[in-house]
Amino acid sequence: MFISKFFLLLLGITVPAFFVLPVRWRAGVLLAASYAFCAYVEPRALLILVAVTASVYFAALSIEKYRDRGSGGTERKITLAAVCGLSFLLVMYKYAAYLARSFGCADRLSASVIDNLLMPVGLSFYSFQAIGYLVDVYRGKSAVEKSFCHFALYLSFFPKLVSGPIERGERFFPQIKRLGEVRFRNRGRMSAAFTYMLWGYFMKLVVADRLGGIVGPLFGNPEEFDSLWLLLGVMLYSVQIYCDFAGYSYIAIGCAKVFGIELKENFRAPYRAVNMQEFWRRWHISLSEWLRDYIYIPLGGNRKGAVRKNCNILLVFLVCGAWHGAGQHFLVWGLLHGIYLLIDSVTGQRMKSRILTFWMAGFAWIFFRADSLGGAFRYIRQMATAGFRPERFRQAVESLQLNTVEIGVTAIGIFIVWLIDWLCEREKMQLPVFIQQKSNGKRYLVFYLLLMTIFIFGVYGAGYHTEQFIYMRF
């Protein structure tokens, strides 16, 4: 969505409205923009978003009321009912269309019914936020938000609506309350916001979408390629999904920063992890932490013995897989990660290898990328048995539509992402923060290079069908 003309138009209207209109209207301006954004992406999704917002808002008020009265369990029942309701909604939308297709009922349902069963945009993300919020209110960890506008904005804030990060109320609400203090002329904030967005667009348009054009045919027809190409496909998809999702997150963080809102950092050079446990501390951080705080720890975490701990890990990653999509291949992907973490746990994280961690994650991505479990196994079988066939190299290059310039741009793009990850790891900070510490000349040079690279080498415009952000589907 961040590459649509509507988004640029919305941003072009929202930014002046935010800073020019009276400061007390700021939350309202952002909420209106968020609802407009949601309605543009999918009108049906707005209805569901408003319904969920209202239900959770009143549920939270009731929980607080009964908790304060000490009503002996009513607040627990309300929390349970609301969490179950949200979970049911999530499961229904994730799995209804899939189950209908799996059991052959799809033919008997009209197209409009099937369309209405598809996942509304953003539900996966804001329903997790809502569950976290309700649980925190129940536990007394978080105060209930009295302003409906602020609460609605917490669930719907447009930079994070479609693909997160999954924000926590305790971080978000205080920032909304301080919106009035945000000044337009704040060079550091605006400059960092601009850098976040530029870097995000670079990762998405220059690297991820370019790789999408190569990865698509490899996963679509693995039989046409030899083992070497398919191994390369695994590697390239690993980079693609990282650049796609991290790129989205950086754009979201930069966009929110324009309005003075700090979103949670979602990626921290994940492929520099030396084991899978560390990988999950760096990959989709807001989801990993949510799963830890609202599933793993309530299940007992590591407090109830090794067997229970390992079961909890497997269960958490099964939920993680199921959350990402309907289909056995997503469950296997989650299960694989659960097994990886079990191995880490059993071996006491003695294994420390970046390359091995990358390929373990990459192997699991096969299940994530494939259309089905059968598709994943087909890819793996071909990768294991096809061998090296140099005589088909030219044919493969042609079917992937590769030429010297494309190969060069792709390779340089990947190298730059690797270099920046290495730099950020060394400096222990994100690129935009690092850039702020440099002289104006160096900062402008980075802006210039990124802008021109995106303009020329970005995959956008007619003739290109820029791939939807991968994480929008989840």
Q: Which residues bind other proteins (CB under 8 A)?
A: 5, 403-406, 440-441, 444, 447-448, 451-452, 455-464
Chain-centroid distance, C-alpha 398: 33
Min dist CB 405 to other proteins, Å, is 4
Residue among 369, 392, 395, 393 nearest 380 (CA) = 369
| Closest CB 43 distance from other proteins, rounded Å | 18
Place of tokens 């973490």: 341
Q: How many residues does the chain have?
A: 474
58 versus 444: smaller Cβ distance to other proteins = 444
Pick between residue 21 and residue 397 the one whose CB is nearest to other proteins: 397
Residue number, 385 or 439, with CB nearest to other proteins: 439
Shortest Cβ distance from residue 403 to other proteins (Å)? 6
Nearest distance from residue 213's CB to other proteins, in Å? 11
Q: Which is nearer to other proteins, 43 or 461 (CB)?
A: 461
Q: How far is the CB of 448 from other proteins (least distance, A)?
A: 6
Q: To the nearest whole angstrom, how small is the minimum distance from the Cβ of residue 74 to other proteins?
A: 53
Q: Which is nearer to other proteins, 25 or 447 (CB)?
A: 447
CB of 238 to other proteins, least distance (A): 25
d(CA 31, CA 210): 34
Shorter beta-carbon distance to other proteins: residue 2 or 35: 2
Runs of H (alpha helix) within 259-298: 276-282, 285-291
AA letter at 118 = L
| Contact call for residues 60 and 137 (beta carbons, < 8 A) | yes
Tell me if the bond preceding 165 is cis, omega within 30° of 0: yes
- In the Cβ-directed half-sphere of 342, how many Cα atoms lie within 13 Å? 18
Q: Which amino acid appears at position 71 of this protein?
A: S
CB of 195 to other proteins, least distance (A): 14
Q: Which one, 31 or 414, has the nearer CB to other proteins? A: 414
User: Nearer Cβ to other proteins, position 11 or 83?
Assistant: 11
Compute the least distance from the CB of residue 404 to other proteins, in Å: 8
3-state helix/strand/coil string of 87-104: HHHHHHHHHHHHHHHHCC
The residue among 415 and 455 lying less far from other proteins, judged by its C-beta, is 455
Closest CA to 241 of 263, 264, 219, 274: 219
Give the residue among 269, 210, 271, 213 at the shortest CA–CA distance from 238: 271
Neighbour count for residue 238 (Cβ, 10 Å): 24
Query: Are 68 and 193 within 8 A, CB to CB?
Result: no
**Closest approach of other proteins to the CB of residue 191, in Å:** 11
Residue closer to other proteins by CB (options 92, 449) is 449
Q: Which is nearer to other proteins, 147 or 399 (CB)?
A: 399
What span, in angstroms and rounded, lies between the C-alpha atoms of 163 and 469? 9
Show the 3-state SS of 185-253. CCHHHHHHHHHHHHHHHHHHHHHHHHHHHHHHHHHHCHHHCCHHHHHHHHHHHHHHHHHHHHHHHHHHH
Q: Whole-number minimum distance, CB 458 to other proteins, in Å?
A: 7
